[in-house]
Structure 1
Amino acid sequence: MLTVEPATAADATTILALRHAAEDWLFARGIDQWTPREVPLTTIAAQIDAGEFHVARYGHSGPIVAALRLIDSDPAIWPDQDESACYVHGLVIDRREAGTGLGTLLLEWASEQTRREGRSLLRLDCAETNGALRSYYLSQGFRYVGRREFAEGSSWFSVALFEKTTDR
């Protein structure tokens, strides 16, 4: 049984290791999504302290197999904020769990949490050129709602924006 719980300070290095593995996997395949080593441990720790990160385990004491941030605003990516939305960021899964449906379970969990908070939209984004991830989000019930460009010289990729209703 999958357990999703708030991350603790002790989880920061594991979350970062999962992210590094994902960054390396993406980079090796030429997929724009995350720039390798762009997020330092101090950022992960601060996001944990802010109550943003959650970790997933099979059972209550199993190893962490995935993590994600669920936040209530995202002005850097979604400048036109909507108080009825929550935003998923940093969704990362242990590469050994790829293809098992774990991503679907985490997105369902995030949708349920969003609904429980009385919000009607779950939003996320991905690099605009990441066709496989764009297709995955569409298959998970998200709809494409636009794109976000960043200033020339920015280290961020242009992103595709997705949202789905939580049926609150």
Structure 2
Amino acid sequence: MLDSAVAWMNDRGNTEQWGTTPYSQTPGGRERVERYMTKNVPYIAELNGTSVGALVLDSGPSPQMPIAPAEEPERYIRLLISDRHHAGLGIGAALLAHAAEETRRAGVALLRVDCWAGGGGALVGFYERNGFTPTDRFLSGAWPGQILARRVV
């Protein structure tokens, strides 16, 4: 799904968000996915037995990102991806609702995520439509990012 997401973005002229190299071929890409599946909490969305989306929750932001942990317990979305062949079916929204429920079930009130803030802010708007509020902006090199938060309890 990550490789096809890169191709999908590139086909639409977006080469800044994840670059042009397939995710599986980027330095550390395969290792990151392995870590997500073994050290974090992954959730896979399926449609008729086919994986169509993935969500990875953690207890805070990646140490590689210029983002401070929250001053309270939090759940942090490290990855949200949906298969673009199934776009428009609400897979991403369903995974975000699941993240909120898992956060609530853990007795944690704060769910956060960071995302690419370029491209006219379309990705930021997606999170806003799903109950998140923009908080801090940041730069990771030349990559513009936005942190968003959602209270769930």
Identify the TM-score tier after normalising by the shorter chain. 0.7 to 0.9
Distance apart, 1:77 and its partner CA: 4.4
Contact 1:142 1:164 in 2 (8 A): yes
Corresponding position of 1:19: 2
CA, structure 1 residues 165+116, in 2 after alignment: closer, same or farther (shift >3 Å)?
same
Corresponding position of 1:95: 84
Contact 2:57 2:77 in 1 (8 A): yes
Distance in 2 between residues matched to 1:51 and 1:79, nearest whole Å: 19
Q: Partner letter of residue 101 of structure 2?
A: E
Q: Partner letter of residue 59 of structure 2?
A: D
Count of residue pairs the alignment pairs up? 144
The answer to whether the aligner puts 1:162 opposite 2:148 as a matched pair is: yes
Contact 1:148 1:159 in 2 (8 A): yes
- Of residues 89, 92, 110, the one that matches 1:121 is 110
Alignment of 1:2-17 (within 5 A): none
Corresponding position of 1:15: none
Corresponding position of 2:18: 34
Contact 1:55 1:65 in 2 (8 A): yes
Corresponding position of 1:70: 57
Query: Sequence identity of aligned pairs in percent?
Result: 29
Alignment of 1:47-62 (within 5 A): 47-58=36-47, 62=49
Contact 1:86 1:114 in 2 (8 A): yes
Show structure 2 runs of 5+ residues with no match: none
Distance in 2 between residues matched to 1:52 and 1:34, nearest whole Å: 23
Q: Partner letter of residue 125 of structure 2?
A: S
Show structure 1 runs of 5+ residues with no match: 1-17
Corresponding position of 1:11: none
Residues 84-130 of structure 1 deviation map (CA, whole Å, 9 limit, x = unaligned)? 21111221111121111111111000000011111111111111214
Corresponding position of 2:134: 144
TM-score (normalised: structure 2)? 0.84
Distance in 2 between residues matched to 1:26 and 1:63, nearest whole Å: 22
Distance in 2 between residues matched to 1:23 and 1:53, nearest whole Å: 20
Distance in 2 between residues matched to 1:56 and 1:85, nearest whole Å: 23
TM-score (normalised: structure 1)? 0.77
Contact 2:17 2:116 in 1 (8 A): yes
Q: Specify the SS of the correspondent of 2:72.
A: coil
Contact 2:113 2:149 in 1 (8 A): yes
Distance apart, 1:146 and its partner CA: 1.4
